[in-house]
Structure 1
Amino acid sequence: MADLFSASRAANIARAAPLAARMRPRRLADYVGQEHVIGPGRLLRRLIESDRLGSVILHGPPGVGKTTLAEIIARETRRRFVELSATASGVKELREVLDAARRRLGDDGQHTCLFIDEIHRFNKAQQDVLLPDVEQGAIALIGATTQNPSFALTSALVSRSRLFALEPLSAAHIAAVLSRAVSDREHGLGNEQVTLEPAALDFLVESSDGDARRALGALEIGVLSESRRPLLFDLDLARESAQRKALVYDAGDTHYDCASALIKSIRGSDPDAGLYWLARMLEGGEEVRFLARRLVILASEDVGNADPRALLVAVAAMQATEFVGLPECQLALSQAVIYLAMAPKSNACTTGIAAARSDVVDRRVIPVPRHLQDRHSAAAQAAGRGVGYRSSHDAPDGVAAQDYLGVEKNYYQPTDRGEERMVAARLADIRRRLRGETAGEPGGGDPP
């Protein structure tokens, strides 16, 4: 219940809040960024303006305005804003909030906007508690998560919600947020006599990675750590205040996106991009065994016999990773990334085994030709197994004219790149010899 000192206490708490909290916009018109979500005519904007919110999941990296947008939505739709953190709330607290929301709606007709931060940390039972009130419209749920909702949330909750992806803020947006903070006398640093040098502004923008909270935090640290007034916030102070940034790297989308970028960069023969994505994953704390395994797979999948040494390099990098560990194993991994990126590319091994397995699964199984069957046992010999087999070592050229499959199939189709060009020429000659053709016969050709 409010008393004579409630306003004073609220003002004191507000003054103690960090700059990022104080600078949160209060109106949709002041919200910076995310035009693809809340720009004029966009779906979320229309839902807010028509007060038909329902259940909404906002997902995106930290510092892009998920909490701020939730507060603005509650204010614009004149709903009571109730915030829960999934890291500190259980089913008991959740039921209490939902019960109170139903009472307010029944007694006063007041709607509730329930904001759940880090909603992906709720387990299935906790998420299921929300479903009846979401379906009945007792609450307008706004969930915020840094994870992909399709993976992190239950399908029941996702199917009852509208999903909106918030993106990292652009450099122009971060610069606007910082400039506003420096000049704002009511909520920002406008009374601190701070002049932000252009070079310092550019550095704070670049080092924030689209995270407004990080940029404002660095600005605030720099200002509060200096007693000089007026204060020239220069590049040196910006560098000292920003310190080492903590990369956003999780086991969900970021892990898979970076791994995909690494593989596709190497496959695309770009060693510079490959090194960047390797560094991004290493700095993010990626398991080095995972990186080594991916490089070994790529060596066969995307290089293959165009450069058979690629597999040797990748396996050596894997062994070096196990032997020396971090941080030195980054040298072996980077060497492998560069070698694989620069190697000629062939996926003939990949497509060959895929075609063969497809035939095994989808078509009639080919029986082993009788002359290729095992004849070690007396029973096998009596049954005539293995009769007619010709050893390649007995052939003058080391290739015996013989059918090894029973049907005409060419699964391996070498490319004309790298060493596979020579493999292709030799394979054409081998296939001719297997058919018993000689040079000059139809379908034959001169040996290389």
Structure 2
Amino acid sequence: MSRLAALLAAIGLVSAAVGGAVVLHAPAETPPEEPPLYGTADYTGLHEAGVTGENVTVGIVDPSGFDLQGAGYTDSVLAAQAFGDGKTLANGGTNGHGTTVAETVTTVAPDSELYLAAFGDESDYRDALAWFAANDVDVVVLPTSFYGKSGDGTARSIRATSRLARDTVVIAASGNLGESNWRGGYVPDEGSTMTVRNGGDPVTVEVSNGRVRLWLSWTPVDERYRFRLVRNGSTVATSEPYPGDSVPNHRIDAEVAGGTYEVVIDGPANATGTTLRLEAPGGRLENGQREASLVAPATARGVTVVGAYDAENGTVPTYSGVGPTADGRNGVDVIAPASPTMGGDTRSGTSYAAAYAAGVSALVMSADGSADPTEVERALERSAVDLGPPGWDAENGHGLVDSPRAVAAVRSEGD
């Protein structure tokens, strides 16, 4: 039996999963499976069998832009557009992130055709999604993160994402926040201030390069909070409101001396029960929490959320965001390779895992042109290689995306 045939036959080993990301799944009877060997490209056998993503369009929205001159995917581009005043697709040559995402999609699904959208702010992001919808794009991958969101899917840009997902396969990166995240209730220490703590220990910010970026968000919307970085009892930076998407949040984006800082939140004089969320993108929180570390737009309803898988070590890296969402939805649906082998590129992250899963989604749709978004997500989930505790779990979701088994899963539903 050929390797492709064996992998297709293996679909019977995976227990079926139903519904969307909000459903908790009972443990499977079978033990976790062995992951594919590092460096293997399980989609190549599908290419040889004629499953290449042909007749499937994939939209990519990325703030870094795209290389349209020297990249290997340029012949696959149907249309490309920059959204936002002064925004360009090339982005002054600083477009490595979007370029690698596009290369990943076309490596997995070489005959898929691309709609590429660069964007500036969140209003431009919504315009890009509307452009995809107007062009009936089949699969859209979201390798981007929006911070300072409450995590319940209510922000305008996240609602726009959910609307797109009603009729489109939308693949969202879980985000690279990992343990640089904290969520808790507001209980002031004294007066109207609260030192952020986790299990009694202060949550501190480690600054090494002089730049610190922090976001604080909360629900309900009619309350007001701000926060400060404190060192040796002195405030060194104070947050300011960030009105980018009609949700209450505050941000610190400042140059400070390297070292360790405590975070103090200013609010009402009494405990409110309000859920607060602190995010440190690109930084490190000591005593942070990995739980509930998904980053928008992965918090949108109806999207397929993809976490990262380190194929070399056979693990999910700690930076990979996990659920639940603020309103109790599970979070991660599947995981995928965070650094697919291509051209010696050393980048890794959930953006590239999402791009890989988007390429697999294109293969699934090219194998069954009638598959709708729910069927595509179900095919990815029920065919995934279960690497964690039996059944769904917060870190691995349903398991590692496997393209031959996903194709077999959608074909078996059509029989």
Instruction: Select the structure that is richer in helix.
Output: 1
TM-score bucket of the superposed structures, by smaller chain: under 0.3
After TM superposition, the score normalised by the length of structure 2 is 0.23
Instruction: Select the structure that is richer in strand.
Output: 2
Structure number with greater Rg is 1
After TM superposition, the score normalised by the length of structure 1 is 0.22
